[in-house]
Structure 1
Amino acid sequence: MNTQEERKRIPNYMKNFACIGGKCEDSCCIGWSIFIDGETYKRYQKVKDEAFKRRLYKELVPRRHGATASYAAKIKLKNNRCAFLNSEGWCDIYTQLGEQKLSDTCTLYPRTINKVHEVLEYSLVCSCPEAARKILLQQQSIVWEELKEVTSRKVISATIERDKKPCLANHLEKIREVIWKILRNKEEGFEIRLIRLESFMKEMTRLTQKGYYEKLEVLFEETQKNLNKPLKKVNLSLEELPKEIQGGLKTFKQLANRKLKSKRYKACLEQVLDGYKLPDEINKEYLRKRYEQGKERYQEIFLKEKAYILENYFVNYTYERCVPFDQVTPIESFKLLKCYYEILKLHLIGLLLEQSLVGDEAIVYLFQAFSKTFDHGEISVQIFEI
């Protein structure tokens, strides 16, 4: 096994993270196909414990055609559970063969590893309940620590490299500095922060499309210098128009009628729709009044008391996805981020219409169920008319 010392960057919330196994309320070993990479599949064929080797042979389905390094076989599901998940909620491969015998998928999740300018950047994803708690609920801002460690097995999700030619990737550190200063500016309401972020991403797109890379440093400096100055003109792109609300809620109703893999998200969606109390035919005036009532609660209760949750979620989002390099242009990257915000906001407003206060565990439940459904391929956020 090849090992080498490499630079590694981790956010502060990862220091205390560990899988809680059987105590997990929504195990990653339930409901998902679990692919086995080629190297792990070879290791399983050399297992010395004959009884367990027979079990591996029985419960693994080799990929007969088109096997790849990342997908050579998959584990059978029994009653929608991984065949190696025991009754106590722990993995039999881990307990009987050891951590080194886990597949890349099982070793990595819920972590993401990106290689950014020769540094391995580790993060967690919110589709794991315990990871969601660590990411969302800390009231201090996310910060990072860089260290050197000997690493062996790793699966890289994205790679951002410098170039000798002028390019946006060469400015990643400064871009992140600006994005995170905007998102962490607690002196402003969260939606104002998003309006500033949109303006920054739009201007960065304009300059790079014209090839004005030398002007980016001025943009970075000016944006940070003006952070606490009042906006000259409020961009209305974050205003909620009735037809956009109607489109989002229409999609909610359609999803509620679908057979979804995540029972947790289905239950959450039903709570949200109960909050809106929508008639069969959505009247725009009724919808406006109902939404305004919920929006007031959202601003008075959630944004004042829990804005740090949105800050943590979107700072982690931009770090884990290497924003703005997750889309073709910075403004397209922002549009996707904004779509996530608007959909989560619609969910939260629905919950607040039904409840006077949404507690921390209910918020973790929502964000985790949402992430497991929308970030892992079952449904795309682009289906929403927002």
Structure 2
Amino acid sequence: MSIIHLTKTVQSVQPRYVGRFSCTGSACEDSCCSGWTVHIDKKTFNAYRQAKQPLLTERMATQVKRIRSLASDTKYARIEMQPETLDCPFLEEKLCSVQRELGEDKLSDTCATYPRKSRVMGGQHQQALTLSCPEAARLALLAPDALDFVEVSGKVRVESVIQIRSKQGLTPETMESVSLFCLKLMKVGSLSLWQKLAALGVFAEQLTSTLKQGGHARIPALLKDFETMVASGAIDGALSAMLPDYVIQATTFSGLWQLKKGRKNSAVQASVQTQVAKGLGADPVTHLVTQQQLIDNYRTGVQRLPDAMKDAPFLLENFLVNEMFSEGFPFSETSPYDHFLKLVTQFGLLRFMLAVQCNDPERLPDLAQLVRTVQVFSRKYQHDADFAKRVNGALKNAGWDSLEKIYRFLRT
């Protein structure tokens, strides 16, 4: 069978940790071959129909189903997971029988590229990893230089590279300049993490307003003016008087967490969700917790979270920078400010899940548990596009999408 998916070698800008990544295969504690909806592209589907291996062809005939409604060349079919385990039917002893029998070239785009995300913006190839992969999460979150950006040579599957086109009237080159500015803002050493996010919100709001008014030509000046304002310390001074609102943070993000806590989980996912519930103070039998318990436990935990992260104080910042880079912030939603709202929601929910595990007076979670929490959060919440839309819609409907109110979600 001939090669169906071409690869090429490109120069790519990527975080340093990407070059350190290698799939752990059967040793992975939360397999990417289980619990997903796995789409099959048209080329791969047709190749499977031509396969001659008896065991594979039987499974492919029964377990690979055509998508009949709203199908595309990239989402042409899907793999039916095993109903009891949610494992891929081609998984044997935690290894892929398709890759073993047919070769890596015959893997679908989804399976061949995960956890990599590749794109071209302004003529420049960029690559990052999604942190729903346990090994990617470890590499991205535990090394101080993990999110330093480097240019390296590497192979990419041609069809998996996303071409970033002009959005909101901006050229890809201008979009790249704005994205780079936002990443640099997250590296400003004089600001705490919540202040960086607050400053990012101000910028996203101003950028959104500028674009709505057709002021595209003013964007270079906006970048320069904002850089000057940050360097002057004006942002720090404007935010210093703000107080944390633990009540709003605890009740809001607890509600978001509970939206998916009961879904079927792998052993690793179930373990993390159990620890979060325990940290909330939930009754082991009824699973109920009073609002005051919730607020008190969150307040205690969020104040102790820096102690738990003392050997990797950059953990949350690395998560945010990786998310911004991999999603092309702030251009992956309907407006830069909407993308900021999505980022704040992700940050707040993840911080909540980490913090409530830190209120045990006898023991703080170790870094391995914190990384597992980030990985499980990424897998259960970030990969659910419908969840993100529901959350953003709920915030807007409740009037919580204004920048002044969003600050109350950020300060700790």
Per the normalisation by structure 2, the TM-score is: 0.81
Alignment of 1:271-282 (within 5 A): 271-277=275-281, 280=288, 282=290
Q: Hey, what's the Cα distance between the residues in 2 that align with 1:3 and 1:370? A: 32
Q: 2:116 matched to 1:111?
A: yes
Paired position in structure 2 for 1:73: 77
Q: Structure 1: which amino acid aligns with 2:116?
A: R
Q: 2:190 matched to 1:183?
A: no
Q: 1:18 aligns with which of 19, 22, 25?
A: 22
Q: Hey, what's the Cα distance between the residues in 2 that align with 1:380 and 1:237? A: 30
| Most deviating of 206-215 and 339-348 | 206-215
* Structure 1: runs of 5+ lacking an equivalent: none
Alignment of 1:368-379 (within 5 A): 368-377=375-384
Paired position in structure 2 for 1:214: 217
Residues 1:215 and 1:342: Cα distance change in structure 2 (over 3 Å): same
Deviations, residues 322-370 of structure 1 (Å, cap 9, x unaligned): 1111112212111111111111111111011126432221112101111
Paired position in structure 2 for 1:319: 325
Q: Structure 2: which amino acid aligns with 1:282?
A: T
Q: 1:57 aligns with which of 61, 85, 104?
A: 61
Q: Hey, what's the Cα distance between the residues in 2 that align with 1:151 and 1:115? A: 11
Paired position in structure 1 for 2:100: 95
Per the normalisation by structure 1, the TM-score is: 0.86
Paired position in structure 2 for 1:249: 254
Q: Structure 2: which amino acid aligns with 1:70?
A: T
Aligned-residue Cα RMSD (Å) equals 3.0
Deviations, residues 7-55 of structure 1 (Å, cap 9, x unaligned): 5333221112121111000101112232221101221222344554445
* Structure 2: runs of 5+ lacking an equivalent: 396-408
8 Å contact 2:183–2:325 — kept in the other structure? no
Secondary structure of 1:361's counterpart equals: helix
Residues 1:238 and 1:265: Cα distance change in structure 2 (over 3 Å): farther
Q: Hey, what's the Cα distance between the residues in 2 that align with 1:328 and 1:94? A: 38
Q: Hey, what's the Cα distance between the residues in 2 that align with 1:52 and 1:322? A: 38
8 Å contact 2:309–2:367 — kept in the other structure? no
Alignment of 1:260-339 (within 5 A): 260-277=264-281, 280=288, 282-284=290-292, 287-298=294-305, 300-302=306-308, 305-339=311-345
8 Å contact 1:189–1:303 — kept in the other structure? no
Paired position in structure 1 for 2:403: none
Secondary structure of 1:146's counterpart equals: strand
Q: Hey, what's the Cα distance between the residues in 2 that align with 1:176 and 1:378? A: 22
Q: Structure 2: which amino acid aligns with 1:359?
A: D
Shift of 1:58: 4.5
Q: Hey, what's the Cα distance between the residues in 2 that align with 1:199 and 1:223? A: 9
Q: How many residues align?
A: 380
Q: Hey, what's the Cα distance between the residues in 1 that align with 2:7 and 2:376? A: 36
Q: 1:37 aligns with which of 41, 56, 62?
A: 41
Secondary structure of 1:363's counterpart equals: helix
Q: 1:204 aligns with which of 195, 202, 207?
A: 207
Secondary structure of 1:8's counterpart equals: strand
Shift of 1:168: 6.6
Shift of 1:219: 2.4
Shift of 1:302: 4.6
